[in-house]
Amino acid sequence: MVFFAAGMSLFISSLNSGSNGNCYYVGNSEEAVLIDVGISCREIEKRMKQLGLKMEKVKAIFVSHEHGDHIKGVSTLANKYKLPVYITPLTAKYGPILIKHLSRTFTAHQPVVIGGLMVTPFLKKHDASDPHSFIISYNNITVGVITDIGIACEQVIHYFKQCHAAFLESNYDEDMLENGRYPIHLKNRIRGGHGHISNRQALELFNRHRPPFMTHLILSHLSKENNSPELAAEVFAAHANGTEIVVASRYKASDVYAIASGGIHTVRTFTPVSKPVQLGLFEMM
C-alpha cells in the first residue's frame, strides 16, 4: 500500500479484543499509548514485534476499568518498561496491584498530554467501580476506544462524533444471547444497560452519529458465545458508506491502520509475519 504522511497520522491496532483479553495501541510516529493491558506482557511484546511496532514508543498505559480482561498484564508490563499507568483511585482500589510510583490518576473530560498525544477520558455505563472510555487526539485526528458500554449514553455519543476512527464494542447478537446457554441472570447483566451493547445497538450508534470524516470502525469485544465475526461484519456491511469496517479478533492482533485527517482511508497496514499463539480462553461474555 502507498505510504502517505506517516508523521501526520495516528497508527492504531487491536492487539487483542474480547473477554479473554483487551489491549489497544494508538500512537503517532514518535510515541504511543496502550488502552488496557488484558493479555500478558509476553504476548504484547510478541504481537507488537510482529506488527513492526516498537515498545520504546509506548509512553503510558491507560486503564478503563478493573475487570480482569482489561488489567491482567498491566503490572508486569508497566514494571518492566517503567511505564506510568493512568488509572482512577476507585479503579486502582479494586484493580491491578501497581508499584505506587508508576500510578497516575486522571479525571473525566480533562485531557492528559503524552508527548504529542492528548488522551481524554470520559465516563460510561458499565458494571465496574469507575469505568471510563477514551479518545486519543493528535494533529486534528481523533481515535476512540469505546468498549464495555452498557448503552450508548450521551457522553459516548458526544465523543464518538469526534472520531476519525473508533474501536467500538459490538458484543452480542440479541437472538443468540436470548436463545443461548447463559443463565438468565448473566443474560440480564449483559443486556441490562450496564453490561455490553449488541450488534444492533452499535449499528444504531454508527448510523445516527457517525461523523462524515470517519474512515475506520473496528468492531471490538465480540462475545465468543453470543456473536461471530462474520455476523457482526454482515450487520454493518450494508451501512458502511465509505467507512472501512474491521472486526477485531480475540486471538490475534489486527493490522496497523494509519488514520489521517481529511478523509484519507487506510494509508499503510502491517500484516503479522506469523499467527500469534492463541490465548487460553476464560469466556464469560
With cut-offs at 50, 70 and 90, classify the pLDDT of residue 213: very high
Position 199 pLDDT exceeds 80: yes
Position 103 pLDDT exceeds 50: yes
With cut-offs at 50, 70 and 90, classify the pLDDT of residue 129: very high
Would you tell me how many other CB atoms lie within 10 Å of the CB of residue 247? 21
Q: Which residues contact 63 (CB under 8 A, 6 or more apart)?
A: 36, 37, 70, 71, 74, 85, 86, 87, 91, 95, 96
Position 134 pLDDT exceeds 50: yes
- Domains of the chain (ranges, CATH numbers): 6-259 (3.60.15.10)
Question: What letter does residue 276 receive in the DSSP assignment?
Answer: P
pLDDT at 143: 98
Q: Are strands 112-114 and 103-104 parallel, antiparallel or unpaired?
A: unpaired
Query: Taken in order 122, 124, 130, 133, is the CA torsion positive or negative?
Result: negative
pLDDT at 101: 81
pLDDT at 284: 34
Position 179 pLDDT exceeds 90: yes
Position 279 pLDDT exceeds 80: no
Q: Which residues in 94-124 are b (16+ Cβ under 10 Å) and which e?
A: ebbebeeebbeebeeeeebebeebebbbbeb
Mean pLDDT of the 31-42 span: 98
Position 267 pLDDT exceeds 70: no
pTM over 0.85: yes
pLDDT at 113: 98
With cut-offs at 50, 70 and 90, classify the pLDDT of residue 5: low
With cut-offs at 50, 70 and 90, classify the pLDDT of residue 4: very low
CA angle centred on 63, ends 60 and 66, rounded to 5°? 150
Q: Are 231 and 174 in contact (CB under 8 A)?
A: no
Condensed to tens digits (0 to 9), the pLDDT of residues 55-74 reads: 999 999 999 999 999 999 99
Position 282 pLDDT exceeds 60: no
Position 6 pLDDT exceeds 90: no
Report how far Cα 126 is from the mean position of its chain's Cα atoms.
15
- In the chain, the percentage of residues whose pLDDT exceeds 70 is 89
Mean pLDDT of the 6-31 span: 95
pLDDT at 100: 75
